[in-house]
Amino acid sequence: MKAITIVPGTPNSISVQDVPEPPASDGSVLVRAVELGICGTDFELISADYGWAPRGSKYLILGHESLGVVEDAPADSGFKKGDLAVGIVRHPDPVPCVACAVDEWDMCRNMKYTERGIKEISGFGAELWRSHPGFVVKLDPKLGGCGVLMEPTTILAKAWDHITRIGERALWKPKTLLVTGAGPVGLLAALIGAQRGLEVHVLDRVTEGPKPELVHDLGGHYHTGPLDKLGFCPDVMIECTGVASVIVEAINLLGTDGILCLAGVSSHGQEQTLDIGKINRTMVLENSVIFGTVNANRKHYQMAAEVLGKADQQWLSKMISRREPLANWRKAFERQPDDIKVVIDFSHR
C-alpha cells in the first residue's frame, strides 16, 4: 500500500512509498483512509525539528489528522464495516504514569507517551491503518469529509474543557472571547466560543480572503493590528499564533479574573523584554491565569464530535480550503496564501 513517510532526523525526506500493510498487532480495527489533514506539526516533522520512527523502522508514516472508513472489525469491537472513523493520536505511556493510568494521556507526566505519525507509532497517512478499538472514534456519517476536522477540534475541546475548569474555580460568567490567529486552530476555538454564547473576537494579520468571512459567519468580530487597540479586556483569550510579540500583547491585555490559554507552539529564539514585576503584580491583584494546553484524551474526542455535530456543515466545509488527491501529495505540502486546512484525499488516486 502507499504511505506518506519521513525519515526522522533527515530534513525534507518526505516521500510516498509502497510499504507493507499494517500488522495485526496494530489493532483489530482495519480502516481505509479517506482523508488526511495537514498541520504545522507535519511541517515541523518534515523539517526534522522532531519526530521518532517506530522501534526497528527507519521511517515513520506521517499523518495524525485522520478520517477513514472501517474496512474490517471484530463483532464485539463496537465497529462495523462502513463506519466513519477517526484515530486517536496519543497513546498512554507503557509505565503508565498517574495521568496515563486514568486515560488522561494528554497530561502524561513522564513524556514517554507515543503519538501516531509523530512519536514512535505509524501515522494515518497510509491507504490502510489499524487501531485497537479503544483508540478509534466513530463519527456521525452526516459529517462526511468535514470529519477530517475532528482531530484539530479535539485540541480546542480540551482547551475549552480546561478553560472552563479554571474559570469555575469561582463564580464564572464569561462574556467575551479573543482568539489570536485565524488558522484552523483559531477558527475552531472561535467556533466553540460562539457555540457557548460568547461574544467572539478574532485577530489575524490578513485583511482579506476566507478568514474574515468565516469569523463573520460565526457572528464574530474580525480584527487586525495591535491588541491594545481592541479597547477591552476579554474574559477568555486563546492564543493560537505562537508569535512572541502577540503573546506579550495578550499578556498585557489580561483583565480581572482573565484567562489566557496558550495553544500555539512557538519556534525558539523569539526574545522579548518583559516587566515580570508588573506582570506578577497585575496577575496577583487580578486573579488572572495563563496556562498552556496540548493534545487531547478520549473524552475530548467525544466533546469534539458534539461540537462538529452542532456546527453549520457549510461553515465547516469552508474551513477545508484545499483537497489534493494523493497523487498530488507534493502540492498539498506547498503553502498557498488562502490555505486554511489542506487535506490529502486518499479516495481519489
Residue 155 contacts Zn ion per CB under 5 A: no
97 binds Zn ion (CB under 5 A): yes
**Using rule CB under 5 A, residue 93 touches Zn ion:** yes
User: Of 38 and 99, which has the nearer Cβ to Zn ion?
Assistant: 99
- Assign 230 to helix, strand or coil: coil
Between 97 and 214, whose beta carbon lies closer to Zn ion?
Answer: 97
User: Among residue numbers 163 through 222, which ones bind Zn ion (CB under 5 A)?
Assistant: none
- Displacement of CA 187 from its chain's centroid (Å): 11
Shortest Å, Cβ 304 to Zn ion: 21
- Among residues 6 and 108, whose Cβ is nearest to Zn ion? 108
Q: Does 90 bind Zn ion (CB under 5 A)?
A: no
Q: Name the minimum Å distance from CB 102 to Zn ion.
A: 10
User: Judged by CB under 5 A, does residue 119 bind Zn ion?
Assistant: no
Full DSSP string of 268-314 = S-------HHHHHHHHHHHT-EEEE-----HHHHHHHHHHHHHS-HH
C-beta of 114 vs 288, nearer to Zn ion: 114
Size of residue set near Zn ion by CB under 5 A: 4
Give ∠ CA 333-123-241 in degrees, rounded to 5: 50
Of the residues 108, 128, 157, 340, which one makes contact with Zn ion according to CB under 5 A? 108
Dihedral sign computed on CA atoms, order 60, 65, 71, 72: positive
- Give me the residues paired with residue 201 across strands: 178, 221
| Binding range to Zn ion, per CB under 5 A, among 11-19, 99-107, 273-281, 329-337 | 99-107
Rg of the chain over CA atoms, in angstroms? 20
**CA–CA separation, 18 vs 213, rounded Å?**
41
Which region among 28-36, 72-80, 89-97, 145-153 touches Zn ion (by CB under 5 A)?
89-97
User: Which of 109/221 has CB closer to Zn ion?
Assistant: 109
Q: CB-wise, 35 or 93, nearer to Zn ion?
A: 93
For residues 169 and 231, the answer to whether their CB atoms sit within 8 Å is no
For residues 33 and 3, the answer to whether their CB atoms sit within 8 Å is no
The separation between the first and the last C-alpha atoms of the chain, rounded to the nearest angstrom, is 12
Min dist CB 130 to Zn ion, Å, is 23
Using rule CB under 5 A, residue 100 touches Zn ion: yes
Q: Which residue ranges make up the site for Zn ion (CB under 5 A)? A: 93, 97, 100, 108
